[in-house]
A and B are shown apart, each in its own frame.
Chain A
Amino acid sequence: MSNPNTATVEKYRNNFLREVEANVEDGEWVKMCMQCGVCSGSCPLGPHWDHPPQEIFMMIRANQRDEVLGSSSMWFCTSCYNCIARCPRELPITHIMHGLAHYASKLGFVPKNQQTQKFAQRFWDNLYKKGRVNELKLGLSLYFMNGFAQGVKTSLKMQKVGLGMYKTKRMNPFEIFGGHSCKDSKGLQAALNKAREIEEAKAAKFQQA
């Protein structure tokens, strides 16, 4: 920063855009948005969320950090990929949305009672342990996500489906005791831990810069 010219530019640099580029998956694409709005118009859930993708991208560029990270927008994404298919500039919008969601959740910005976030976290924890999704445990943890009474109610409602799955051997009740696993679940965990380490190192590097 010895060059006074660089220092001046640095002062005006958009810090949140830089933060997103450094920490969010495919974040470097955000600056490529030309604000045409086709993503927002093509999104099947568009009418229901706080800010459509093009607005989120503009907010990132306008340094509205808290509003972006605290918004419900990225949690509405169902990965239908309509936006990616139609974007005239090839922005990986779906991936950026997931990246933003992940980053917001890591920083504790998630809105209260965000159902999608709750599900995503349970799914991840479930998968992390064995390298395979334990459907029984995942299902039950979802039923009881909003309290015991609600859990019992949902379980009773889903009784028939569960029995059907059992009969057709789609679900094994003994999965409740540990359940099946991939070949080297410890190895998988080591790999995932390493990935997290790299990700955190990258974020730390940004904090220092």
Chain B
Amino acid sequence: MTDVVATNQTILVVGGGISGMTAALEAAECGKDVILIEKNPSLGGRVSQLYKYFPKMCHPTCGMEINLRRIKANKRVRVMTMAEITQVTGEAGNYTVNLKLSPRYVNDNCTACGACKDAVEAEFDDEYNYGVMDSKRKGAYLPFFMAYPQHYVIDQRLIGTADADKAKAACQYEAIELDMPEQDLTLNVGAIVWATGWKPYDANKIQPYGYDRIPNVITSVELERMMDQMGPTGGKILRPSDGKEAKDIAFIQCAGSRDRNYLKHCSRICCTASLKQTTYVREQYGDDGKSTIYYIDIRAIDRFEDLYHKAKADETVHFIKSKVASITQDKATGNPILHGVDTEGYNRYSNPHDLVVLAIGMEPSVDFSQLDVNMTVNEHGFIENDPSNGGMFGAGVATDALDVNRAVQSATASALRAIQVVNQVAATQGG
């Protein structure tokens, strides 16, 4: 892992989600040397956790496959997973980056046969499934079926236990190295693209919605995992309280967004995401399903207006113009009851539903104020396109709340900016 060659004509891309992969590939396909680092054991990011993405309602696995083929075909991209940046110093054209590489405990011999997984017993919360229905994964695991690199991971919490030795004994390819150390690495690069992405806003903070105390209140990202055929519910929308099918589903918009108590900004994707998720309900139940969207105003930007009109034309989809004030639970049925006053007639309502999906807001996954990197961010924590950032550029959702399409556009733009920086270096060095 330490034989990484980097020069100040190399572009470092931080984050291996859809934006990072795009930025790395665009730069590499223009002939630049790129190092793509990802803190998780696999590339893919949050898009790989979606069931479908709008507007074409296709499966992200398809786009993932294309990007992985491009990465495998391109010798100029060097991928490093389980890598995190600890410090960045220097200036455009000459950055020194300190990295911490966490041990995977599995080397490149791994064939992803899964013998180690079968051998171990310890289970941990499955972060890939956002803990839906208390889903667990083994201590030796493949992050998800399309993971890249296609290598298993031994959970750090397994080291030193009998399970770790069982895993090692089960492996017939000598792929497991239980003494693999943590490494520190220093790279010299010319430009850095930060595609560090987003995380769902912590729903527990929206106290009146009871995410922490009402089992049948879930978030939009959890619903995506439920729809996955290979996911924790086998592709069914189930109620966490009793495992029954949820047919009457409420979507609450602006859950955490556009609210000075939580996130001030509009997360921009949640309206369209909920409109998309109403099609999941139809896909599962046909005319027997029922979706109700509680909203302040629907912000389906530009061509996504089509999705809104389609949803409005669907008789199983209902719209209530109101920000829900609070949610309580009916003890007998476990049904969440939504309370509020609507804005079209000012009617007071207390509506029970089978399941509530919070269209959760997006916040930047990296807090740059906590990181030893000199980065200019806006009041919401997103990276600014600011000259003071020198040769460092934000890409995708690290710069603003964006959908996949716009994140990819942003990533391509940032790749071009980074290319200009390393071209400058090449011009002065005669590269």
Q: Which residues of A contact B (CB under 8 A)?
A: 34-38, 40-42, 46-47, 51-52, 54-55, 85-86, 88-90
Residues of A within 8 A of B112 (CB): none
Listed from nearest, the 3 A-B pairs whose CB atoms lie closest are A41-B325, A36-B323, A41-B340
Interface of B is mostly: loop
Residue from B208, B258, B260, B343 within 8 A of A37 (CB atoms): B343
Ordered by A's residue number, 12 sampled pairs between the chains whose C-beta atoms are within 8 Å are A34-B297, A36-B343, A37-B340, A37-B342, A37-B343, A38-B340, A41-B324, A46-B341, A52-B341, A86-B208, A86-B261, A86-B325
Binary contact track B24-51/A, C-beta < 8 Å → 1, others 0: 0000000000000000000000000000
- The answer to whether A40 touches B346 (Cβ under 8 A) is yes
Distance in angstroms from B278 CB to nearest chain A CB is: 21
Is residue B348 within 8 Å, beta carbon to beta carbon, of the partner chain? yes
Residues of B within 8 A of A46 (CB): 341, 348
Is residue B134 within 8 Å, beta carbon to beta carbon, of the partner chain? no
Is residue B296 within 8 Å, beta carbon to beta carbon, of the partner chain? yes
- The answer to whether B260 touches A88 (Cβ under 8 A) is yes
Residues of A within 8 A of B260 (CB): 88-90
Bound CA span A152–B393, Å: 79
Bound CA span A52–B259, Å: 20
Bound CA span A89–B208, Å: 17
Distance in angstroms from A197 CB to nearest chain B CB is: 36
Residues of B within 8 A of A41 (CB): 322-326, 339-341, 348
Residues of A within 8 A of B258 (CB): 88
Give the contacts of B257-273 with A (CB-CB under 8 A): 258-261
- The answer to whether B341 touches A37 (Cβ under 8 A) is yes
- The answer to whether B343 touches A47 (Cβ under 8 A) is no
- The answer to whether A36 touches B346 (Cβ under 8 A) is no
Bound CA span A35–B344, Å: 10
Residues of B within 8 A of A55 (CB): 346
Residues of B within 8 A of A86 (CB): 208, 261, 325
- The answer to whether A35 touches B296 (Cβ under 8 A) is yes
Residues of B within 8 A of A89 (CB): 260
Distance in angstroms from A107 CB to nearest chain B CB is: 25
Residues of A within 8 A of B343 (CB): 35-37, 54
- The answer to whether B323 touches A38 (Cβ under 8 A) is yes
- The answer to whether B340 touches A40 (Cβ under 8 A) is yes
Closest to B257 in A: A88
Closest to A47 in B: B348
Closest to A53 in B: B341
Supply 16 further A-B pairs (C-beta < 8 A) apart from A36-B254, A40-B346.
A36-B323, A37-B322, A37-B340, A37-B341, A37-B343, A38-B323, A38-B325, A40-B341, A41-B339, A52-B346, A54-B341, A86-B325, A88-B254, A88-B259, A88-B323, A89-B260
Bound CA span A185–B323, Å: 48
Give the contacts of B315-336 with A (CB-CB under 8 A): 322-326
Closest to A36 in B: B323
Binary contact track B234-268/A, C-beta < 8 Å → 1, others 0: 00000000000000000000100011110000000
Residues of A within 8 A of B322 (CB): 36-37, 41
Distance in angstroms from B350 CB to nearest chain A CB is: 10
Bound CA span A47–B324, Å: 16
